């Protein structure tokens, strides 16, 4: 049976100190709105509203939750609230800024800084013949700075993909949508129903969530790097675990990109977590090299915003 569809809050709805303008996106776990605060500043508001647990009909403001689903809904709401609390502590230019989080209408809301630009997914879609290597290195070098900050707070993202990497109008990348970040690096956490994006999720997200760690996000980074050169995600990791038909990037794209970049992608996409880079820092160091001991000049990464913006501006 297909999941039920929840109706969004209407345009003009007053939500705490914010007024809803329109729906920006919807997923199985939440709805995201464009809204304005009391000063007229645009913000993005993410509403906890899992389709599998709650239903909100047209004209209603509070979701209906059956008695059977209430414990799971409440636990998920608690996790969502704690996620907002954790992300609000992150102050990094390459991580989406959480401004506020509060309870209302029988659920929870997370208020984020509204970013203007487009996703890396959109950029890839526009450049179907392949994204330039210099652009790839520049975007991911800075995006990984944000991911290092996430990991330093003992959080995992667990849903890194091109549609969750946003390219601001000034050219700088920012990590969005930490909807899967409820899994922390701390042990003993009760888990909700797993959430992942096939093709970008690591194999341990399907089978062995006790094995999750920074290397799990690194697999997703590798899949996102692969999408930049291939235009699509690699095969699902759970299917690769059963029968691996994946053609390594070093074989498939040897004539179009440097061997060092392709080797880095294949390294990140190893099915065994222990065979991948174990930290974002080690991956960053590799991305800043073009070949054997050939380190990328510091100037390439010294003004990434300007450089990335120039790439975008030419398209």
- pLDDT band for position 219 (cuts 50, 70, 90): very high
Rounded mean pLDDT, 59-77: 91
Rounded mean pLDDT, 194-217: 86
Q: Render pLDDT for 246-262 as a digit per residue (tens, 0 to 9).
A: 999 999 999 999 999 99
The β-bridge partners of 36 are 19, 42
More confident residue, 307 or 279: 279
Hey, what domains does the chain have and what are their CATH numbers? 14-113 (3.30.200.20), 117-313 (1.10.510.10)
More confident residue, 295 or 309: 309
Rounded mean pLDDT, 215-228: 97
- pLDDT band for position 297 (cuts 50, 70, 90): very low
What pLDDT does 104 receive? 96
Q: What is the dihedral of CA 115, 116, 122, 128, to 10 degrees?
A: -130
Query: HEC profile for the chain?
Result: CCCCCCCCCCCCCEECCEEEEEEEEECCCEEEEEEECCCCCEEEEEEECCCCCCECCCCCCCCECCCCCHHHHHHHHHHHHHHHHHHCCCCCCCECCEEEEEEECCEEEEEEECCCEEEHHHHHHHCCCCCCHHHHHHHHHHHHHHHHHHHHCCECCCCCCHHHEEEECCCCEEECCCCCCCCECCCCCCCCCCCCCCCCCCHHHHHCHHHCCHHHHHHHHHHHHHHHHHCCCCCCHHHHHHCCCCCCHHHHCCCCCCHHHHHHHHHHCCCCHHHCCCCHHHHHHHHCEEECCEECCHHHHHCHHHHHHHHHHCC
Rounded mean pLDDT, 214-238: 96
Percentage of residues in the chain with pLDDT exceeding 70? 85
Rounded mean pLDDT, 191-207: 78
Q: Render pLDDT for 263-291 as a digit per residue (tens, 0 to 9).
A: 999 999 999 999 999 999 999 999 988 65
What pLDDT does 187 receive? 38
CA–CA dist 81, 1 (Å, integer): 29
CA–CA dist 200, 120 (Å, integer): 14
CA–CA dist 116, 200 (Å, integer): 25
CA–CA dist 93, 132 (Å, integer): 24
Global confidence as pTM: 0.84
220: pLDDT strictly greater than 90: yes
- pLDDT band for position 135 (cuts 50, 70, 90): very high
Q: How far is CA 185 from CA 94, 146, 158, 182, 188, in A?
A: 21, 17, 12, 10, 10
Contacts of 11 (CB under 8 A, 6+ apart): 20, 21, 22
What pLDDT does 4 receive? 60
What pLDDT does 25 receive? 87
Helix axes 133-152, 280-287, angle to 10 degrees: 160
92: pLDDT strictly greater than 90: yes
Rounded mean pLDDT, 166-181: 82
76: pLDDT strictly greater than 60: yes
- pLDDT band for position 16 (cuts 50, 70, 90): very high
């Amino acid at each position: 049976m297909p999941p039920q569809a929840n109706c969004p809050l209407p345009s003009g709805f007053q939500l705490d100190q914010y007024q809803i303008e329109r729906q920006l996106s919807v997923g199985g776990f939440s709805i995201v709105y464009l809204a304005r605060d009391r000063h007229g500043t645009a913000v993005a508001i993410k509403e906890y509203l899992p389709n599998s647990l709650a239903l909100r009909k047209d004209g209603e403001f509070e979701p209906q939750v059956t008695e059977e689903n209430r414990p799971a809904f409440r636990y998920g709401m608690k996790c969502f609230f704690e996620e907002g609390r954790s992300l609000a502590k992150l102050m990094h230019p390459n991580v989406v800024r959480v401004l506020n989080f509060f309870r209302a209408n029988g659920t929870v809301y997370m208020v984020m800084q509204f970013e203007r630009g487009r996703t890396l997914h959109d950029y890839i879609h526009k450049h179907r013949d392949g994204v330039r290597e210099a652009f790839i290195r520049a975007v991911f070098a800075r995006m990984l700075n944000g991911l290092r900050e996430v990991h330093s707070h003992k959080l995992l993202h667990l849903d890194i993909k091109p549609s969750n990497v946003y390219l601001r109008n000034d050219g700088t990348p920012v990590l969005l949508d930490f909807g899967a970040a409820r899994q922390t690096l701390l042990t003993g956490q009760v888990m909700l129903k797993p959430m992942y994006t096939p093709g970008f999720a690591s194999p341990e997200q399907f089978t062995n969530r006790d094995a999750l760690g920074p290397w799990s996000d690194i697999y997703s980074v590798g899949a996102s790097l692969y999408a930049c050169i291939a235009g699509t995600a690699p095969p699902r990791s759970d299917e690769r675990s059963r029968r691996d038909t994946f053609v390594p990037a070093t074989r498939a794209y040897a004539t179009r990109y440097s061997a060092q970049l392709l080797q880095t992608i294949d390294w990140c996409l190893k099915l065994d977590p222990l065979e991948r880079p174990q930290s974002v820092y080690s991956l960053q160091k590799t991305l800043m090299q073009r070949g054997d001991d050939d380190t990328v000049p510091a100037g390439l990464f010294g003004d990434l915003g300007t450089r990335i913006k120039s790439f975008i501006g030419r398209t």
